[in-house]
Amino acid sequence: MTVRDSDADSGAPTVHFDRRSFLATGAATAGAALAGCIGGSGSSTPTINVLTWEHYARDDIKSAVESELDVELEIKKSTSSANMFSGWKSGQDEEYDIAVPNNNYVPKFVDAGLVAPAPLDDLSNYGSIYDQFEQFTDSQLSRDGQAYGVPIRFGWYGYGYDSRDVPDHEESWSVLFEGVEGADLSNKVALYDNHFKAMGAAALHLGYRDAFEGDRVSLSQKQIDEVKRVLVEQKKEYLSGYIAGDASFTKGIKKGDFHVGHSGRMNLTILWNNDNDWAKMASPKEGAMSWFEAAVVSKKSENQDLAWEIVDEYISPENGATLSRVGHAPSVNPKVENHLDEKNNRLYGSVDPERLNGMIPFKAVENEDAWRSAWEEVKTA
């Protein structure tokens, strides 16, 4: 996942529904206007249009939700939250009932007046999600106490390492910048080729956690200069190279190009899935940047109640487990562990809440041009 930015109209009514009564009366109303934002297909089965990531279109999750709710899902696959937002802002909010962007884009949907309030009290599975994600909902997905998005899946960034070359150690960002006692990491550390990820790691290493606490990540110019200095020093002594994404991480660490690499957890699950048990994932004590997907419902949807039922199914224990397995990312609902086998529980099952407490959700950056400028200076140093 990648990192990308009028008060929301709070006058829209909150939609409440009761699943049993909805299903009981669904046949009587299906012919009227239950076929998504752009109208029906002539079928008695209602159609809901969803703009989301490719894994949601997999038949094992799509068909499970359709059969559970007697609904037809028309799923359009997107490659970025930025495209989801720009499309809805250009009128696609009339075409799609649901979108599932990354968490840092939900405030943009809200501020643009594109989405309906989320009826959290009426979602039967929302009360089962991790406390940390309820807090993220309150802090990042809400305006004036009203939620507009619902977390679905998540992941986080720390670093992966080859335990055959790197001994057990305290998990800290300092490993990327100062090495580990008992291991020679000279020219054996990889960083993401991304100003937000690389500079964020350096800032946390330097103890600038307060900069990540507000609505935006905010470093002073003095702090940016210090981050730049640390990254330049790291480049001279420890850096193996900059990596572009998942494929370059997994390929590089398997080849031995580096022993420690800045990484998202998904990279490690790819390695573990292929029996590379020597690969370990560290979640630094200073905090780990995290992403999560959050579903929103269009304010222009004629079927907000049914749309929210579908969202609720995405975080149900059984369907959440399927989505975790096919999408290689944990569900926000720890009860999925009851529906995963031993191997998949290790990869995508419940996560220690203590680990979640150190997560810092992706968010917009204050004075991002200064970050970009500093990063270019690092790369050309």
> What are the residue boundaries of the structural domains of the chain, listed by start?
19-148+291-357, 156-287+361-380
The pLDDT confidence band at residue 349, using thresholds 50, 70 and 90, is confident
3-state DSSP assignment of residue 112: coil
Exposed, middle or buried by CB within 10 Å (0-12, 13-18, 19+), for 228? buried
- Residue pLDDT, tens place only, 71-81: 999 999 999 99
Q: With cut-offs at 50, 70 and 90, classify the pLDDT of residue 19.
A: very low
Q: Give pLDDT tens digits for 276-310.
A: 999 999 999 999 999 999 999 999 999 999 999 99
CATH number of the 156-287+361-380 domain:
3.40.190.10
State the pLDDT at residue 8. Answer: 28
CB-based contacts of 377, cutoff 8 Å, min separation 6: 228, 232
Question: Any idea of the CA torsion for 189, 193, 196, 202, to the nearest 10 degrees?
Answer: 20
Highest mean pLDDT among 24-28, 121-125, 272-276: 121-125
Which stretch of DSSP H or E encloses residue 8?
Answer: none
Residue 355 — very low, low, confident or very high, per pLDDT cuts 50/70/90?
confident
Band (43; pLDDT cuts 50, 70, 90): low
Per-residue pLDDT at 27 exceeds 70: no
Question: Which pLDDT band, with edges at 50, 70 and 90, does 201 fall under?
Answer: very high
Mean residue pLDDT of the chain comes to 89
**pLDDT at residue 328, rounded to an integer:** 87
How far is 255 from 195, CA to CA, in rounded Å?
25
Torsion of CA 49, 134, 203, 250, to 10 degrees: -50
Q: Do 19-148+291-357 and 156-287+361-380 fold alike per CATH?
A: yes
Give the helix ranges, DSSP H, for the chain: 19-33, 59-69, 81-89, 106-111, 131-140, 174-178, 195-205, 221-237, 246-255, 265-273, 304-314, 317-327, 342-348, 353-357, 368-380
Domain 19-148+291-357: assigned CATH number = 3.40.190.10
Of all residues in the chain, the percent with pLDDT exceeding 70 is: 89
pLDDT of residue 71: 97
Q: How many CA atoms does the CB half-sphere of 215 hold within 13 Å?
A: 9
